[in-house]
Amino acid sequence: MNIHFYKLSFCPPPMPHAAAVFRSPVGIPASKSQKPSKRAIFKSEMEELHLTKPDDWHLHLRDGKLLESVVHHSARHFGRAIVMPNLKPPITTAAAAAAYRESILKVLPRDCDFDPMMTLYLTDDTRPEEIKLARSSGVVYAVKLYPAGATTNSQDGVTDIFGKCLSVLEEMVKQNMPLLVHGEVTDPNVDIFDREKVFIETILEPLVRKLPQLKVVMEHITTMDAVKFIMSSREGCIAATVTPQHLVLNRNALFRGGLQPHNYCLPVLKREVHRQAIVSAVTSGSKRFFLGTDSAPHARNLKECACGCAGIYNASVALSLYTKVFEEAGALDKLEAFMSFNGPDFYGLPRNSTKILMKKSSWRVPESYMFTWGEIVPMCAGQMLEWLPSDC
């Protein structure tokens, strides 16, 4: 990572929750005469970051007009993406995954080298033979576990992973095929804010004990419980993707100033203590965590309605937000590994050879993206962001 500096005579004001605020041990703002820390000076002097092009290890591209409308946001700054299979109907076979990949390639911008990496949707009826076909296809890189009813288009998901999917999981071990997990139970008696914790205790920990060689990615983690599980597991076998929304928002964002449907996603945002635990984990330099936006586009009218869809569209702002989080933590030197190295290393793939530039340049997020069929409201709509991604 190449870093360029410029000199400032002051530290720029941080965001309200920024870790850069200088405070005394009792929590009172420090005096103006207090000498800034080396970490704060490092943050204030940063102007440009030349980074290995990142990959998105958890992305929803949808299909049809929605796919055509959103794919360019991801293709512009990511080299590759693990594409989620929860379409209607779901992508349950290697043949369907190959066809879906072709439909993505057809609508990519010209001169674009974006590589969509496909996944299979695990069901109660998936057979081990399909895993062999997926591995030999050359385009399928993982299998996605949706507990039935857990999130958007998960109605065809798994109802009994140990009773109906064990032979498939055993074949995945043989084929070195990772299992991507939406880690929530769907028992209506379990509080929605506890579903990730209960999933770890009742499903994930027993699964890892039963199949210790199975590679597992716990997707879009939201709790300190998930952080503890990942950190206590064997490195190289268990990892986690982390979204920008779960790094910068807590559950207050769902209700501040009224119900905020564009901040609603699944797993749902959690308490501030969980957000802080995730920030600490990803900015620590651990190889177990990597970028996965979970960018999930929905038309505005399907979000702002009596029964709004779960999902946050962040593809256009994700890199700016990740960079801000690492800046506030004084960990910009660890950003490139999180965005560009940890993911391909876990999957056993080469790192990208091209670069992107993150420049300290304020820009305003559009209020919405308009299309002939409707509009999409992005994360941070109308807000000013401080880091702007571009090609080197």
Instruction: State the catalytic residues.
Output: 58, 60, 144, 182, 220, 294
* Rounded CA separation 235/110 (Å): 39
* Rounded CA separation 253/5 (Å): 34
From the list 260, 342, 278, the residue with the least C-alpha distance to 55 is 342
Planar angle of CA 259, 368, 14, nearest 5 degrees: 70
